[in-house]
C-alpha cells in the first residue's frame, strides 16, 4: 500500500469517532484532507466543524460542511488531526503544515484527540523531524541563539524564497538536532521563551487515540 492509500485508510477510519449531531474539531494536512473527504460523506449527520487552518476551512466549506469560529463553541467532543511524529505515549510533533498554533487551540478545547497517521510517523523519541516553532518575527534571531544553546539548529522556514507567513501573520522556525526525551518538560520550557507563539511539541495536548495506517491495516493505539 502506498503512503497516500494509508492516509486514506486512517482518514476513513476516523469517522467512527465522529459523534452524530456534534461539531467536529478538524486539523490540517494531507492526512486530514482524507478525513475531510470522508466527513463529507456523512455531513448530514453533523452540525459542522471548527477548523485549525484557512486551508482546512476552505476544503470543508467547498464540500458543504459548515465551519464555526472556535469562539462560538465551548467544547468539542472530538478533534481529528495528523502528526509529523508520534511516540508510544501519544506525544506528538506537529506543525509541518505551519498550522500548529490553531491546532493546539482546537485540541485544547476538545475532550478527545484522535491522531491519524501512517506508520512512518511512529517514533521511539521525538526530534528527528525538524521541530516547527511559530515565532514573532522580531524574536527570530534571539530564538535561533536560544535553540543553539540546547544543541538545536533553527532555520527560518521559507516559501518561494521569502519567510513563510502563517495564518496568524507570524513566522516558523524549524529546529533540527534535538532529541526530545521529556516532551512535557520541553513544551513547558520552550513555550515560555519570549517571542515563541507555539512550540510544535504536543505533550500537554497529546493524542488519546492514534489510528495508525499500516500495511496490515489500521492499528488503534490508545494512550
Q: How far is the CB of 61 from ligand 5RP (least distance, A)?
A: 19
Cα 30 to Cα 11: distance, rounded to the nearest angstrom: 10
Quick check: 174 binds ligand 5RP (CB under 6 A)? no
Q: How far is the CB of 145 from ligand 5RP (least distance, A)?
A: 25
Q: Which segment (11-19, 98-106, 147-155, 171-179) binds ligand 5RP by CB under 6 A?
A: 98-106
Q: How far is the CB of 29 from ligand 5RP (least distance, A)?
A: 3
Helix 30-40 and helix 54-62, axial crossing angle in degrees, nearest 10? 30
Active-site residue, from 103, 119, 134, 189 = 103
Residues 18-77 that bind ligand 5RP (CB under 6 A): 27-31
Q: Establish whether 5 is a catalytic residue.
A: no
Cβ closer to ligand 5RP: 93 or 143? 93
Phi-psi category of residue 83: left, alpha or beta, with phi > 0 → left and psi -120 to 50 → alpha: beta
| Sheet with strand 92-93: strands edge to edge | 85-86, 92-93, 201-202
Helices marked H in 53-182:
54-62, 100-108, 140-149
Cβ closer to ligand 5RP: 47 or 221? 221
Count of helix runs (H) and strand runs (E) in the chain? 6, 16
Q: In the set 95, 152, 183, 213, which binds ligand 5RP (CB under 6 A)?
A: 95
Cβ closer to ligand 5RP: 47 or 191? 191
| 166 contact partners, CB below 8 Å, separation of at least 6 | 98, 99, 101, 134, 172
Q: Which segment (18-26, 61-69, 93-101, 151-159) binds ligand 5RP by CB under 6 A?
A: 93-101
Residues 99-118 that bind ligand 5RP (CB under 6 A): 99-100, 103
3-state secondary structure of 200: coil
Cβ closer to ligand 5RP: 99 or 199? 99
Cβ closer to ligand 5RP: 12 or 31? 31
Q: For 59, which DSSP code?
A: H
Quick check: 94 binds ligand 5RP (CB under 6 A)? yes
| C-alpha cell read off for 220 | 488503534
Specify whether the CB–CB gap between 80 and 32 falls below 8 A. yes
Active site residues: 103
What is the binding site for ligand 5RP (CB under 6 A)? 27-31, 81-84, 94-100, 103
Amino acid at each position: 500500500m502506498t503512503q497516500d492509500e494509508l492516509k486514506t485508510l486512517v482518514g476513513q477510519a476516523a469517522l467512527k469517532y465522529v459523534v452524530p449531531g456534534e461539531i467536529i474539531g478538524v486539523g490540517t494536512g494531507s492526512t486530514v484532507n482524507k478525513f475531510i473527504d470522508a466527513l463529507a460523506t456523512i455531513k448530514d449527520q453533523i452540525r459542522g466543524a471548527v477548523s485549525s487552518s484557512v486551508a482546512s476551512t476552505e476544503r470543508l466549506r467547498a464540500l458543504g460542511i459548515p465551519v464555526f469560529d472556535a469562539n462560538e463553541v465551548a467544547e468539542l467532543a472530538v478533534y481529528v488531526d495528523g502528526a509529523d511524529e508520534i511516540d508510544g505515549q501519544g506525544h506528538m510533533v506537529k506543525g509541518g503544515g505551519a498550522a500548529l498554533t490553531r491546532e493546539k487551540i482546537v485540541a485544547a478545547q476538545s475532550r478527545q484527540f484522535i491522531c491519524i497517521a501512517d506508520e512512518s510517523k511512529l517514533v521511539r523519541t521525538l526530534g528527528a523531524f525538524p521541530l516547527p516553532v511559530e515565532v514573532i518575527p522580531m524574536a527570530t534571531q534571539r530564538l535561533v541563539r536560544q535553540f543553539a544553546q540546547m544543541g538545536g539548529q533553527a532555520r527560518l522556514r521559507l516559501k518561494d524564497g521569502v519567510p513563510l507567513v502563517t495564518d496568524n501573520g507570524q513566522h516558523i522556525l524549524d529546529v533540527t538536532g534535538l532529541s526530545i526525551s521529556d516532551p512535557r518538560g520541553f513544551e513547558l520550557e520552550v513555550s515560555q521563551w519570549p517571542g515563541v507563539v507555539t512550540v510544535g511539541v504536543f505533550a500537554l495536548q497529546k493524542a488519546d487515540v492514534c489510528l495508525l495506517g499500516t500495511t496490515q491495516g489500521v492499528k488503534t493505539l490508545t494512550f
